Structures are given as C-alpha cells and as structure tokens.
Amino acid sequence: MEQIIIMDGPDIDRTLKRMAHEIWERNRGGDNFYLIGIRRRGVTIANRIARKLQEFEGVTIPVGALDINLYRDDLSEIASQPVIKKTEIPFPVTGAKILLCDDVLFTGRTIRAALAGIIDMGRPQVIRLLALIDRGHRELPIQPNYVGTVVSTSRDESVEVMLAEDDGIDQVIITRGEINGAES
C-alpha cells in the first residue's frame, strides 16, 4: 500500500478561496442562493465556502446538510445498511439556486442520489455542483461546475479528503493498491 499526499492544508485553503471568488463572480447579487453539502465532508466544504464568502463579500449564505443514504442505488448490494445522519435544509428549496458541494467526485452516483433527495423537497430553479477533487471514472452523465483539482486516478486507487473539522487535519491522500472499493 502506497500513500501520496496530493494536497496539504495551504493547498486546500487556496483552492477553496479561488472557488469562493469564482462562485461569487457567477452568482453575485442573486437572491435565493444557497449551499447544500453532502454529509459529511461536503458539509464541511460548504461551511468553509460560506465563511469565505462572508469574509470576502460580507454576505451570509445559508448552508444545508444532506444525507444521501436514503437515496442510494446500491442498498441491496452492500453488506450492511449505512448509518443515516440527519438531513437539515433550513431554507425552501423551491425556486432556489442551489450549489451542491461534495469532497470527491467519482462515479457520480452520490450526486445522482443527492439530486433525487433535493428534488423530493421541492423544485429548485437551478442546482450546480462543486467538488474539491474530480478523480474521473464517471458512470453517469454528471459534470461539476466548480472543481478544486482534477486528479487522474485508476479505479483501484482511493482518494481520501481529510478536513480538520472531521478528521483533525487538512490533507488529500491517494492510496494505491490493496484497497479496492469506491469511497462515498
């Protein structure tokens, strides 16, 4: 098993700053703009983006948290039922411009589940997608609007985003060999 750190704390922060500027450039002055993070690290990323928008532009963008496990398409295939965390969307979804945030974009199945989950709560005007890492290997026609870094990987590698709030440290690691599975 071989581990390579591809991003450290300052790298992640720089990338999030750049994405926050990009987001504001495209959504400036718009009403009903909200962030929704996919539990759990997507929520952390959404919170950090919201904090940066507050810092740079003085705007407060509400952040929601979405647990996609009730919408997974592989529940009858995986060994044990995933633990379900609470979905908390503190704003009306109908008519909203939503930026969906996740840490790693891989097959696209998590995003499909998230879209189904959001649409069950109402009819947003638009949903856009942000991912800190895009590692390729899509199985569905899903593309991000904002990407931190594109990393070329092989299927048997695993990409792990660690964030201080969840894991005590900021870094992105690629692990090669032995691990054979998709991360959520």
85 binds another protein (CB under 8 A): yes
Spatial CA neighbour of 39 closest among 85, 99, 104: 85
In the window 6-65, what residues touch another protein (CB under 8 A)?
Answer: none
Measured from the CB of residue 29, what is the shortest distance to another protein in angstroms?
29
- Nearer to another protein by Cβ, of 60 and 76: the residue is 76
Nearer to another protein, 55 or 120 (CB): 120
For another protein, give the closer residue by CB, 64 or 108: 64
Neighbours of 148 (CB within 10 A): 25
| Residue 164 backbone phi and psi in degrees, to 5 | -50, -40
Helix (H) or strand (E) holding 61: none
Nearer to another protein, 37 or 144 (CB): 37
Residue from 10, 25, 31, 80 in contact with another protein (CB under 8 A): 80
State the Cα–Cα distance between residues 77 and 168, nearest whole angstrom: 32
Q: How far apart are CA 13 and CA 27, in angstroms?
A: 21
The site for another protein (CB under 8 A) is made up of 67, 69-72, 75-76, 78-81, 83-88, 116-117, 120-122
